[in-house]
Amino acid sequence: MLNSAQKKYLKQEAHALKPIFQIGKDGVSEKQCQSILDALKAKELIKVKLLNSCPITTNEAAVEISAMTKADVVQIIGHTIVFYKKSPKGIYRLP
């Protein structure tokens, strides 16, 4: 679980990132979650964008992806979700 100082730091780091995954009309799938998990292992901090055709809300998608990947939700802005999961590489030094 991230505290407020850690979330603030990660929000600043995520600001310049582009979403690397899009979730569309099929919603969240097991295969997408595996790809998201692989990306989190490599990058630790990623953005996921929900398209307008997505049948679930952004909050529902965040909870579902977080549960399947064991990642922390850093921030939800509109249709974009920022996820963080610490990797052995330790790219980000959290306060």
- Domains of the chain plus CATH, in order, are 4-84 (3.30.110.60)
Which residue is it, tokens 């049948």?
55
Amino acid 95: pLDDT: 81
Amino acid 93: pLDDT: 81
Amino acid 78: pLDDT: 95
Q: How far apart are CA 64 and CA 40, in angstroms?
A: 15
Amino acid 90: pLDDT: 79
Q: How far apart are CA 58 and CA 28, in angstroms?
A: 11
Amino acid 82: pLDDT: 97
Q: How far apart are CA 38 and CA 7, in angstroms?
A: 22
Q: Average per-residue pLDDT in the chain?
A: 93
Banded model confidence at residue 13, pLDDT cuts 50, 70, 90: very high
